[in-house]
């Protein structure tokens, strides 16, 4: 029975549903389950010892500040650490350009609050990060989806949607979630030029950029946007706001992310953050800074890259070995995911059901499209997002084998005539 509260829910909450991924995570806790579902880092790589030492140091030397309320914008040394990271791309930033958030998911929520009025158009990739759709949907965004291919967002399709005056574009240039694709350097340049020409700014979400397993690092949109300016000019304006996080390089349980933007925008976002949580956990910020400093983070990222590269390769090999013809997948150069495209006509929810019965999980692709319909205007192909960071290599092989059985069974039943001939 609905509670008295149900009739009091604000109208903006209508149509808000729980994330398919978070719901699936509950099922994947079952013993014996091999999960390619969540975007979970490998827990055995969490630098627990370094965290332990950092906690000890913070509590023995700095407990008065670390356990106290802190500034909304974040712990000053951590903001400086982020500014220094950005400076490596040749962008002059100061701590005033940085807001520490409770995960980059909070950054998306705050940016939604700051930028989206009811019915405002927001240009997103198809497919795109489900958590961003969830965050922006609360503010009744009207999504304009533009498809991607192996080289990321198809910039040649942007002219028309940009003329419909979207408030901003939300783009994942590196090892996109869910597809694992990377925006090519040419398209990056074109995208930044289009943003300038149409006056439509960009939110660049980059949680995976450091996790590259092959090829050269590509220039962030933020750096390309500032290229025309003198190298030492401060970041006080521009068309790109940049987001990242410690979730994939240190630990997601920290809930620490950041926004890089002109100081005026940071000030406005800080006002909104005060209403949300006053500030991000002081203790976690002190600890993260102690863990990450003195080159530890860079060293640790090298280890993560090595382990995830191997897992990606095992998954690619297993897909090649077990999956039937007609199924295709992306070849991610980094990140945590690859994206499988199945022949048209398969029922992805039915495949998920069979897969879960075989104790293997994936996320169906539909959730990553703003209109919840995969393959719009094309042949209604369905997709699976597969995560390769969380399972050990031998589990990855076994999981892909089980998944391939589920796909083959459904393919076989599709090729059976759907109606039996009448007996006469």
Ligand X SMILES: Cc1ncc(COP(=O)(O)O)c(C=O)c1O
Chosen residue from 37, 70, 103, 209 binding ligand X by CB under 6 A: 103
Which residue minimizes CB distance to ligand X? 103
Q: Do 168 and 261 touch, CB atoms closer than 8 A?
A: no
Nearer to ligand X, 180 or 263 (CB): 180
Percentage helix, strand, coil for the chain under 3-state DSSP, each rounded to 5: 45, 15, 40
Chosen residue from 134, 174, 181, 245 binding ligand X by CB under 6 A: 245
Closest CA to 155 of 129, 110, 189: 189
Q: Do 160 and 200 touch, CB atoms closer than 8 A?
A: no
Q: Do 249 and 297 touch, CB atoms closer than 8 A?
A: yes
Nearer to ligand X, 79 or 397 (CB): 79
Interior angle at CA 230, CA 225 and CA 233, nearest 5: 85
**Residue 400: both structure tokens together:** 């892909």
Nearer to ligand X, 205 or 225 (CB): 205
Q: What are the backbone dihedrals phi and psi of residue 391, each rounded to the nearest 5 degrees, phi first?
A: -100, 150
Q: Do 229 and 59 touch, CB atoms closer than 8 A?
A: no
Nearer to ligand X, 222 or 351 (CB): 222
Query: Which single residue is written with the structure tokens 């627990």?
Result: 48
**365 in contact with ligand X (CB under 6 A):** no
**Nearest distance, CB of residue 186 and ligand X, angstroms:** 22
Chosen residue from 47, 173, 257, 399 binding ligand X by CB under 6 A: 257
**180 in contact with ligand X (CB under 6 A):** no
Chosen residue from 28, 35, 155, 177 binding ligand X by CB under 6 A: 177
**Nearest distance, CB of residue 370 and ligand X, angstroms:** 15
**Residue 235: both structure tokens together:** 């970041």
**Nearest distance, CB of residue 108 and ligand X, angstroms:** 6
Nearer to ligand X, 39 or 399 (CB): 39
Nearer to ligand X, 361 or 411 (CB): 361
Q: Report the alpha-carbon distance of residue 244 to residue 83 in Å, rounded.
A: 12
Closest CA to 75 of 47, 98, 46, 52: 98
Chosen residue from 72, 93, 105, 387 binding ligand X by CB under 6 A: 105
- The CA dihedral of 312, 316, 322, 326, to the nearest 10 degrees, is 130
Angle between helices 282-292 and 296-322 (to 10 degrees): 90
Chosen residue from 180, 201, 238, 252 binding ligand X by CB under 6 A: 252
Q: Which of residues 27-46 bind ligand X (CB under 6 A)?
A: 39
Nearer to ligand X, 259 or 400 (CB): 259
**Nearest distance, CB of residue 344 and ligand X, angstroms:** 27
Q: Which of residues 113-132 bind ligand X (CB under 6 A)?
A: 129, 131
Query: Which single residue is written with the structure tokens 């983070």?
Result: 297
Q: Which of residues 189-228 bind ligand X (CB under 6 A)?
A: 205, 207
Which DSSP helix (H) or strand (E) runs through 329?
A: strand 328-329
Chosen residue from 104, 134, 182, 239 binding ligand X by CB under 6 A: 104
Q: Which of residues 267-326 bind ligand X (CB under 6 A)?
A: none
In terms of DSSP bridges, do strands 34-35 and 98-101 run parallel, antiparallel, or are they unpaired? Answer: unpaired
Nearer to ligand X, 206 or 404 (CB): 206
Q: Which residues in this chain contact ligand X in the complex, by CB under 6 A? A: 39, 103-105, 129, 131, 172, 177, 205, 207, 245, 247, 252, 257
């Amino acid at each position: 029975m609905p509670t008295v509260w149900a009739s009091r829910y604000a109208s903006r909450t209508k149509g808000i549903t729980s994330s398919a991924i978070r719901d699936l995570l509950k099922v994947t806790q079952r013993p014996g389950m091999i999960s390619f579902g969540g975007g979970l880092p490998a827990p055995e790589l969490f630098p627990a010892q370094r965290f332990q030492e950092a906690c000890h140091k913070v509590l023995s030397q700095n407990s008065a500040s670390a356990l106290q309320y802190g500034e909304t914008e974040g712990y000053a040394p951590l903001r400086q650490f982020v500014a220094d990271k950005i400076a490596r791309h040749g962008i002059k930033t100061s701590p005033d350009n940085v807001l520490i958030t409770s995960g980059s998911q909070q950054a998306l929520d705050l940016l939604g609050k700051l930028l989206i009025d009811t019915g405002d158009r927001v240009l997103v990739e198809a497919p795109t990060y489900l958590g961003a759709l969830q965050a922006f949907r609360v503010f009744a965004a009207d999504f304009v989806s533009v498809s991607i291919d192996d080289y990321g967002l198809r910039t040649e399709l942007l002219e028309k949607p940009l003329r419909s005056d979207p408030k901003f574009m939300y783009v994942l240039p590196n090892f996109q979630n869910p597809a694992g694709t990377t925006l090519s350097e040419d398209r990056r340049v074109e995208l930044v030029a289009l943003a300038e020409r149409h006056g439509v700014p960009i939110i660049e979400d980059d949680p995976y950029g450091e996790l590259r397993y092959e090829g050269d690092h590509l220039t962030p949109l933020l750096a390309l946007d500032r290229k025309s300016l003198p190298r030492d000019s401060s970041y006080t304006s521009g068309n790109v706001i940049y987001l990242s996080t410690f979730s994939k390089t240190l630990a997601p349980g920290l809930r620490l992310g950041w926004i890089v933007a002109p100081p005026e925008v940071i000030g406005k976002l800080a006002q909104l953050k005060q209403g949300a949580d006053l500030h991000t956990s002081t203790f976690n910020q002190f600890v993260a800074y102690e863990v990450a400093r003195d080159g530890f983070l860079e060293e640790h990222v090298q280890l993560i890259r090595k382990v995830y590269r191997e897992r990606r390769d095992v998954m690619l090999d297993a897909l090649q070995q077990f999956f039937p013809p007609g199924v295709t997948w992306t070849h991610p150069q980094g990140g945590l995911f690859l994206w499988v495209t199945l022949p048209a006509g398969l029922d992805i929810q039915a495949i998920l059901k069979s897969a879960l019965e075989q104790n293997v999980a994936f996320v169906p692709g539909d959730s990553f499209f703003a209109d919840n319909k995969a393959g719009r205007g094309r042949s209604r192909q369905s997709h699976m997002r597969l995560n390769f960071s969380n399972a050990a290599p031998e589990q990855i092989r076994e999981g892909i084998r089980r998944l391939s059985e589920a796909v083959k069974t459904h393919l076989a039943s599709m090729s059976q005539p759907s109606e039996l001939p009448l007996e006469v």
